[in-house]
Amino acid sequence: MGKTKKKRVLFICRHNSARSQMAEAFLREFYGNRYKVYNAGIEPIGINPYAIRIMKEIGIYISKQKSKSLNKFAGEEFDYVVTTCGDADEVCPVFPLGVERIHNSFDDPTIAKGTEEEILSEFRRVRDEIRKWVIETFGSHEECFRYSYSINYSGHCRTRR
């Protein structure tokens, strides 16, 4: 039997500085054997240092990832195009037929205000939401258990309580 071709996934958010970067890193970390993962932004501004820091806390290093323009991927084919903020969903270009578009608007941690610890807390909260969502959306039932998740009655993963 031949090797199964990896599905191609593109994560998009406005600035490509936090949410799409984290989503790419989680999908690659957990399911890189099945997915080839990319990220892009409508108006890329570079990776937010807090995003790098809070991902490093859990052993995932994104400092070498790049913030890229969505234009870089014009004409490329993807199996899934995932928007991680409302802005990206509204202005996301049309992709070829057969591409599955997925949208989940996560809060933007880069607009958090307060002390450094309060800002980091918001980044961690969003990071954990993205991690949970990536596992629920892209993981198999067996993998849900591997990452301390359980299956609910509808067959989707959910966190154990």
pLDDT in tens, 126-158: 999 999 999 999 987 555 545 544 434 333 444
What stretches in the chain show pLDDT beneath 70? 1-2, 87-98, 141-161
Among 53, 89, 92, 119, the active-site one is 92
Cβ-contact 12, 92 below 8 angstroms: yes
Q: Is 92 a catalytic residue?
A: yes
Q: Indicate the SS3 state at residue 13.
A: strand
| Domain boundaries, given as residue ranges, for the chain | 7-159
Cβ-contact 34, 6 below 8 angstroms: yes
Distances (CA, A) of 59 to 116, 123, 158: 21, 15, 22
Q: Is 85 a catalytic residue?
A: yes
Specify the CATH class of 7-159 in words.
alpha beta
Residue 137 makes CB contacts below 8 A (sequence gap 6+) with 102, 104
Q: pTM of the full predicted structure? A: 0.82
Residue 115 makes CB contacts below 8 A (sequence gap 6+) with none
Among 9, 12, 13, 81, the active-site one is 13
